[in-house]
Amino acid sequence: MSATNGTGTHVRIGLDAPPRVASLGVGVHGTTGPRDVFRLPDLWQLHLYRYEAELTVDGVVHEIRPGHVSLVPPGALVRFHYRGRSEHLFAHLELPSAGERLTVPVMQDAGTQTPVLTDLMQRAVAAAPRNSARAAAELWSVLWRVADLASPAAGGTAGPHPAVALAVAHIESHLAAQLAVPDVAYAAGVSHNHLIRLFRAETGTTVVAYIRHRRMERARHLLRESTLSVPAIAAAVGIGDLQAFNKACRRELGASPRAVRAGTA
């Protein structure tokens, strides 16, 4: 396995753009013999398994169980050892060569995500013959979800702590409402103090600062891209008082709402 793609147990992938899909389908193996040995020189391999077997990737052995998902880089020598008829969903694809790299285990247990991944891959398989763009979009969603399975403890860097992810989702959905840190912590299922520690560790900022930043980023967008009135925009980002909104714009965006709207700031 090349140094640019992985280390044997993990791979580094780019997901800044959709994959180019070379082949999608349902693979059936183990009917004529218990072993397959092969390489795909130029393509990644994504497999979602429905059976028990053993996969060796460039000498590193991985146990296969139903609900496991593997991502193998181009050029890797793969050896499958089946235990009878074995069926999996597969995709052979190209990934972007540029952009941010995410570290993902070669083999993961999808757990509760298995039905979602199965549905998305089946949608991709069904779309491929008539709409390659739709198939690539479905598979792109699969790859992001596979990347999100990786935990920091497993060496992955793609996904935040689950409580932080829940906190961010709650904040993004309630920017127009009153947002108190205890309420965000409750939505995330952790204590106030624990969320503060987790949020700082994951994002490098505080919950309050994140809320303030996201509100003003949305305000900037609405000021520049919409014809909504300034009071309506202030309300849309949870700041009902116009004087407070003006102060927030000057502090966070460096200019008054009128200047931001005019594009002079």
- Per residue, the 3-state secondary structure of 102-165, as one string, reads EEEECEEECHHHHHHHHHHHHHHHHHCCCCHHHHHHHHHHHHHHHHHHCCHHHCCCCCCCHHHH
Average pLDDT over residues 99-116: 91
DSSP state of 11: E
Tell me the three state secondary structure of residue 50. coil
pLDDT value, residue 5: 53
Other beta carbons within 10 Å of 56: 15
Whether 158 shows a pLDDT value over 90: the answer reads no
Classify residue 88 by its DSSP letter.
E
Domains in the chain, start-ordered, CATH in brackets?
A: 10-151 (2.60.120.280), 162-262 (1.10.10.60)
Taking 80 as the threshold, does the pLDDT of residue 151 lie above it? Answer: no
Give the CA angle between residues 63, 64, 67 to the nearest 5°: 135
SS3 label, residue 72: strand
How far apart, in whole angstroms, are the C-alpha atoms of residue 61 and residue 40? Answer: 18
| E strand intervals along the chain | 10-14, 20-29, 35-38, 44-49, 53-57, 60-64, 68-72, 78-81, 86-94, 101-105, 107-109
Helices (H) and strands (E) in the chain, counts: 9, 11
Q: Which residues of 111-120 are buried (b: 16+ CB within 10 A; e: fewer)?
A: eebbeebbeb
Share of the chain above pLDDT 70, in %: 93
> pLDDT tier at 97 (50, 70, 90 boundaries)?
confident
pTM value?
0.66
Q: What is the pLDDT of residue 157?
A: 44
Those residues whose C-beta lies under 8 Å from the C-beta of residue 72, and which sit 6 or more positions away, are 11, 40, 44, 45, 47, 57, 78, 106
Q: Which residues lie below 8 Å from residue 165, measured CB to CB, with a gap of 6+?
A: 159
Q: What is the pLDDT of residues 203-253, one digit of tens each?
A: 899 999 999 999 999 999 999 999 999 999 999 999 989 999 999 999 999
Band of pLDDT at residue 3, cut at 50, 70 and 90 = very low
AA identity, residue 203: T
What is the reported pLDDT for 193? Answer: 94
Alpha-carbon distance of 129 to 126, in angstroms, equals 7
